[in-house]
Structure 1
């Protein structure tokens, strides 16, 4: 029995180097073509295209980049799609890309404006999916004792035969993993799933780092022999809350994406559910850390207050010890002629012994009560 030949696919890389006025930090376009379309099932029926061999071509140019992108989009056949990635785009770049793919003007505005919450928005047959990227640098190094969080943004504009990804901020670009996944599963939704999977997996890595720092902070606060500053607890809590603010909204966006039966096929929805499970786990972890640190702040404040009370007891005890010889010496320092034992030969040694005895007795009493 003769087997069917495996489908052949080609990935054509069009690396678009934007020249002025289309100057951006990075821009590239990937075109997927299903050459053997007879062996591929229609993605609209809910079945994903099978993976096959891939052929890649690179094109570097400083002129005509928009026309190259337009030509790539116009040359798409049935089952083909293209993926455009831009980093830190300006408004002119996004308007020209939007003109080619018919992207809504509100999507262009969101793509140019960074620092948005994670969200999912629908524009007829197009989706805008926004995610926040998070990087965490633990404190405690020789040069920097405070933890640091940097957040970025990744946006996915999904259409019938195109995907546009936009990244902002200092967070690492996750598109390398997207490229690897496209070599195995060739669907526009694959870009969205791969990007979300990369970012959410990094969320889990960040939560592991946070677990180490929170546990170390708990050990420091409750250790009796380790001195600490409550400012350190506040700084760590502030970074955890910033991470939580970036992570939590994605849960709602992913749930909406899973329930979108018009734009997301069943095969992709299965993978998105897996991303949602990881996202819920990461959100639960950050919420748990925030609660632990809130309790730790209260415990640290109570410990500092207790330490201050202990210090005040010690000060009061030593003041009580010092006031006895001061009082006796003050009495015998008065300029009176008729005073008991004033002319007695053993008066001075007796008074000194009395002062020492009372002081020793007070010190013993305070030590017994653990004031000293």
Structure 2
């Protein structure tokens, strides 16, 4: 699916015109769109998971660098900033955190997507892979302040990074709940639950952390990015750093939880082994005594005593009771 929205400069002959949106983008329409752009006008092409042929057509019409066109059709890239002359490629990762989700991978609660932004002098192309936000309202609002194609890039980055903050708050609740369960007295928490949450936090962290460097490079690009846009991008960078710090903190807390849960399991196993050892020691006493009198020697006086049997049984019971009392005093039972 692809659409193109043409934004007319506020200084055009019809400054109040609503942006034209075209959804059927063939070669003829792409050429007409490019030719219709006047001074100050620009177009925004938004496409979801394009194939090589479509990106080749767009690259030909708008003069997009071939390396950018090749990257655009490849998903699962790390957040990055790449400059190609008067064009740039900026990649962002989207993150959706849904507790009790059903994403069919090792992290069912986390769904990631990707937005690649190709920025030129009078055009911007956004390539979406997976779950991505709809920034139309934010774009329209921000264009009233800075009417440039780079405003679409800023709006997308602002939308995605703001959602990072929401995800970090959701994780805060889940990590706190996990800490309560791990340290609750008598808790029988399955450590696999801690590992699963840890994997989800690490996946989110891998999507978020690299964006910090990419945003810093973008903010420092004084040639392509105007000062007004750089001011707003610095605000996005601040939010990005805050989100990355929060996610990093969650990862550290979960690493501590893994260690605590492992120590708790080891302690429980030691306690179980002590109980097993104590009962084994108690069972050895009657077994040993019965073994002695089961050897069938002729010269065993106790065998011919009238009270021999109750004496031996009573001795077994007494010794076992003494051992039970001793083990309980030492908290082995």
TM-score calculated relative to the size of structure 2: 0.91
CA apart distance, 1:56: 4.5
Does residue 191 (structure 1) correspond to residue 152 (structure 2)? The answer is yes
Q: CA deviation at 1:338?
A: 2.6
Distance 1:212 1:54, change over 3 A: farther
SS at match of 2:302: coil
Counterpart pick for 1:238 among 187, 199, 224: 199
Q: Answer yes or no: is 1:111 the counterpart of 2:72.
A: yes
The alignment status of 1:255 with 2:216, answered yes or no, reads yes
Superposed CA RMSD in Å reads: 2.3
How far apart, in 2, do the equivalents of 1:90 and 1:254 lie? 28
**1:204 aligns to 2:165 (yes or no):** yes
1:181 aligns with 2:141: yes
The CA distance in 2 between the partners of 1:329 and 1:364, in whole Å, is: 22
Q: CA deviation at 1:250?
A: 0.4
Listed as ranges, the gaps of 5+ residues in structure 1 are 1-25, 39-51
1:155 — aligned with what? Answer: 116
Residues 251 and 280 of structure 1 are in contact (CA less than 8 Å); yes or no, is this contact kept in structure 2?
yes
Pairwise CA distance, 1:178: 4.4
Q: Residue by residue, what CA displacement relative to the aligned partner does 1:345-366 show, whole Å, maximum 9, x if unpaired?
A: 2222222221111111111111
Aligned CA distance change for structure 1 residues 285 and 350 (closer, same or farther; 3 Å): same
Could you tell which deviates more after superposition, 131-140 or 154-163? Answer: 131-140
Does the CA contact (< 8 Å) of 2:7 and 2:43 recur in 1? yes
Provide the rounded CA distance (Å) in 1 between the counterparts of 2:234 and 2:38. 30
User: CA offset at residue 297 of structure 1?
Assistant: 1.6
SS of the equivalent of 1:354 reads helix
* Alpha-carbon distance in structure 2 between the residues aligned to 1:320 and 1:247: 57
Instruction: Give the helix-richer structure, 1 or 2.
Output: 2
By how many angstroms is 1:35 displaced? 4.8
Cα separation, 1, equivalents of 2:99 and 2:81: 31
Provide the secondary structure at the position in 2 that maps to 1:342: helix
Cα distance in 1 for residues equivalent to 2:248 and 2:86: 35
Structure 1 counterpart SS, 2:93:
strand
Q: Please give the alpha-carbon distance, in whole angstroms, between the structure 1 residues aligned to 2:60 and 2:324.
A: 87
2:225 to 250, 264, 269: 264
Is structure 2 residue 322 aligned with structure 1 residue 347? Answer: no
Structure 2 SS opposite 1:115: coil
Aligned residue number for residue 95 of structure 1:
56
Q: Between Structure 1 and Structure 2, how many residues are aligned?
A: 329
Of stretches 209-218 and 255-264 in structure 1, the one that deviates more from structure 2 is 209-218
The answer to whether the 8 Å contact 2:92/2:114 transfers is: yes
- Indicate conservation of the 8 Å contact 1:167/1:173, yes or no: no
What residue is the counterpart of 2:100 in the other structure?
Answer: 139
Counterpart CA distance in 2 for 1:229 and 1:92 is 50
Indicate the residue corresponding to 1:49 in structure 2. Answer: none
Conserved? CA contact 1:154–1:165, under 8 Å: yes
Shift of 1:132: 0.9
Distance 1:291 1:91 in 2: 41
Matched, 1:29 2:22: no
From the superposition, tell whether residues 292 and 192 of structure 1 become closer, same or farther in structure 2 (CA, over 3 Å): same
Q: TM-score, normalised by structure 1?
A: 0.82
Q: Distance in 2 between matches of 1:265 and 1:140?
A: 41
Question: Structure 1: how far apart are the matches of 2:243 and 2:161?
Answer: 8
- Partners of 2:303 and 2:73 lie apart in 1 by 95
Per the alignment, residue 18 of structure 2 pairs with 55
Alignment of 1:313 onto 2:288: no
Q: Which residue of 2 aligns with 1:10?
A: none
Q: Distance in 1 between matches of 2:138 and 2:47?
A: 14
Report the Cα offset of residue 140 of structure 1: 8.3
Separation in 2 of the partners of 1:275 and 1:183? 16
Question: Residue deviations 1:126-182, cap 9 Å, x none?
Answer: 1111111112232389xx99643222110111111111111112x134333444435
